[in-house]
Structures are given as C-alpha cells and as structure tokens.
C-alpha cells in the first residue's frame, strides 16, 4: 500500500513538472462584452485563505477561447440560452402554466445569480432547486435532471440577467456552518491520487497539467460552455468531473456535500462579476 501511494504521488508530481514551465495568468487581460467591462481580477476576500488576488477562469484561457466570450453572437453558450427562452414560454404540466405565467419578465431575476447559492431555513438553496420547485409545485410538471440540457439552459438564461454584477453570497448566520463544511471539503484529500481541490486551484493555479491550464476554480461563469464536450456544464457536473480525475467516487449532484462546496467556492469569488454563460476549454 505504501509503495502504491508513493507511486501515485510521483505520478502527480510528474504531471505538474513535465507539462511545461509556469504559464502565469495575463494580469492585463480585460474582458469586455457588449461594451461592459467585467471584473476578472480583484483583491481576494478576507476569508479566501492563501490568496492575495482572485482571478476569473477567463484569464487562464487561450486567446481564441477568450475571444469567443467577448461577443454574444460568437459565444456558443447562447445556443442554449435561446433554447431556454423557448422553454420559458412553453406550457407544461397539469397546471397548464409556463414559467412566464408567474414570472412575466425574466429580467425580474436580475441579481439572483450573483447571490446564489443561498441558505434558507438552514439549508442551501441552488438555482436548480428553485427551478424544479416551480416546475413540480406550481406547474405540476416533472422535475428536470440536475445537469440536463433543459436545466443548464434555464440556469444560464436566468443567470444571464445578473451578468456583470459582482458575486456576493451570504456566509453568516445560518450559512456559517454550511460554509465551514464546504471549506473543509475544499481542503480534504480524496481518491487514489489523494488530492484536494486546493492542490490544483490554490497551490498550482497558473500552471499547466497535461493540456489543461489550471485556474483558481472560480465558479462565477457557470453554467459554462466547454469546448471539450460542446455543451453547457453545471457547477456540480464540474465537481463530479474533478473528483473522477483524481480517481475518487464523486458525491451526487444536488448532494449536501456539493451544495456546501458550491457555497464556499462562490464566497471565494466575491467581487468577481457574473459571466454566465462563460466559455472555457
């Protein structure tokens, strides 16, 4: 067992060392969309331990990928936003209602994405849960799959209303113990590779590992369109992918663990602006 652990540690070290010299983030990069300048670099909040500054994942992307996000016409994530616009008006369920039946103007959701997730009655509430609650309780419709195309599209459409607003989630009061749980998970090691989120996104951001340029793992751009799989990716879907990469058994999407981790990560990005839907590798 000790020999196996040693070999795995050597594999991880080699992955970082052999992939290239350090590729630092371009601190001068500026993201502008529709004439609006976004905050992609700012002073780290006091509770983001071991970081002086925080960076949007956009800063770490190749020039061509960055450019895709600067124009809504070129941003492939807007194909899914268009899908959600149709879904928003589509009558579904036994109540014979659409989203627009109760929420006539989608712009009324402005500010919601910037404050999510939030803690209500001692439990973390995510955008996905708000949407599914509306579907099951008010529309009499079936719940959507957490990371399904319909859900990710709708989360992006609603999130778009907050684009350009600074991320600011509440982490005091009832949220504090859940935030602490998320922090613990962030620094806990999992899987055969015995790695934590912090090993990549805090200790090695800016470095290359294989073909990936490691970011700080900020979630202000989710749902994000990834060129790798040509679809919108949810926050919890990305968490699953990371855990699989370190050969760990992932928690379930929508689990208390992932929701706590989401709250903690959102708080680490306080001050960055919402980029939904962003474009990444």
8 Å CB contact between 77 and 277:
yes
Instruction: Please give the Cα distance from 155 to 62 (Å, whole number).
Output: 26
Q: How far apart are the first and last CA of the chain?
A: 36
Q: Identify the active-site residue in 81, 160, 235, 242.
A: 242
DSSP state letter for 212: E
* Residue ranges of the binding site for heme c: 99, 102-103, 134, 197, 200-201, 242
Active site (annotated) includes residue 242: yes
* Paired tokens of 262: 């989401």
The tokens for 200 are 């990549």
Task: Pick out the residues of the known binding site for substrate.
Answer: 238
Distance (Å, whole) CA 27 – CA 21: 17
Q: Which stretches of the chain are DSSP H helices? A: 2-17, 63-69, 78-89, 99-102, 127-133, 149-160, 175-187, 197-201, 235-245, 256-268
b/e sequence 89-100, b meaning 16+ C-beta within 10 Å: eeeeeeeebbbe
Annotated binding site: 99, 102-103, 134, 197, 200-201, 238, 242
Q: Catalytic amino acids? A: 242
């Amino acid at each position: 067992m000790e020999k196996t652990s040693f070999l795995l540690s050597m594999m991880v070290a080699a992955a970082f060392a052999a992939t290239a010299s350090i590729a630092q983030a371009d601190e001068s990069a500026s993201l502008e969309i529709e004439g609006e300048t976004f905050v992609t670099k700012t002073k780290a909040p006091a509770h983001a331990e071991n970081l002086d500054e925080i960076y949007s994942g956009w800063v770490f992307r190749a020039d061509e990928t960055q450019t895709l996000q600067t124009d809504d016409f070129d941003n492939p994530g807007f194909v899914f936003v268009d899908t959600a616009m149709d879904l928003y008006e589509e009558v579904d369920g036994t109540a014979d209602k659409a989203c627009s039946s109760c929420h006539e103007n989608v712009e009324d959701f402005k500010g919601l994405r910037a404050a999510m997730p939030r803690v209500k009655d001692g439990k973390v509430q995510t955008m996905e849960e708000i949407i599914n609650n509306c579907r099951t309780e008010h529309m009499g419709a079936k719940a959507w799959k957490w990371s399904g195309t319909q859900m990710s599209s709708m989360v992006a459409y609603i999130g778009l209303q907050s684009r350009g607003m600074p991320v600011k989630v509440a982490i005091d009061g009832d949220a504090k113990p859940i935030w602490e749980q998320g922090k613990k998970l962030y620094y806990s090691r999992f899987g055969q590779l015995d790695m934590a989120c912090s090993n990549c996104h805090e200790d090695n951001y800016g470095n290359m590992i294989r073909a990936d340029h490691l970011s700080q793992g900020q979630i202000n751009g989710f749902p994000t369109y990834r060129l790798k799989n040509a679809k919108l990716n949810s926050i919890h879907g990305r968490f699953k992918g990371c855990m699989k990469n370190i050969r760990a058994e992932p928690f379930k999407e929508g689990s208390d663990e992932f929701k706590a981790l989401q709250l903690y990560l959102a708080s680490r990005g306080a001050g960055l602006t919402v980029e939904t839907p962003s474009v990444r590798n």
